Amino acid sequence: MGFCYNLQLDKTDLPIIRLSDAENNPELLRKDSEESDWEINIYSKKHSFLAPIQYQSHEYGIVSNKMWSDGSGTYSPSIHTWVFQTRSPLLSKSLITDLVKRYGLAYLGGKFDEIERPDFDILIIHDVDDVIEIFAAKGNAVIHIKYYGDASLETLIEVTSDYISDLQLPMSPFFKKRIQK
């Protein structure tokens, strides 16, 4: 994952979707790393030639006065976000395919549905029980979300749309020439 940094509790200017963006609950508290065997509420940033900007984040919460719908324990939602800016929209489409194959939770059952929406070039969702996965691309921006909680799919799609529109970069002249040929 690269170098990890603590994810601030307050809003940041990081291009990642936060748990508070999905959960509309004033009782939501952030789970503390001291309550876990591993570091939680972290983010990392990396880069590569084909995706010069990459962020990954993991954020965990708890609502102490609420139970999971199946009664399995205290409601403790989490969100895991991967954000990429690729050098070309063509690379974004390939990246989405790779992310679905590599990280999609197919073992949970259900199907991966591609949804047509004007605010995305590609939008693939996987919604099973209390787990929602979103794979989205718009231009050279790609977002992959794994969310565990009871927020609605529509809420997560809207939040993803807001973030992905802010991630648009002008296309590299190198790739622009290749596409125009």
Domain around 56: 4-180
Measured in degrees and rounded to the nearest 5, phi and psi for residue 57 equal: -140, 155
CATH code, domain carrying 105? 3.40.1000
Residues 6+ positions from 152 with CB-CB distance below 8 Å: none
The pLDDT assigned to 33 comes to 60
Average pLDDT of adjacent 10-residue blocks, the chain of 181 residues: 77 87 90 66 88 90 92 93 90 90 79 93 91 94 94 94 76 47 46
Q: Tell me the per-residue pLDDT of 122-140, one tens digit each, with 9 for 90 and over.
A: 999 998 888 999 999 999 9
Q: Is 138 exposed, middle or buried (0-12, 13-18, 19+ CB in 10 A)?
A: buried
Return the beta strands (E) in 11-128 as ranges: 29-30, 42-46, 53-67, 74-75, 78-85, 113-114, 122-128
The pLDDT assigned to 101 comes to 86
Q: How many domains does the chain have?
A: 1
Can you read off the two tokens belonging to residue 164? 């992905």
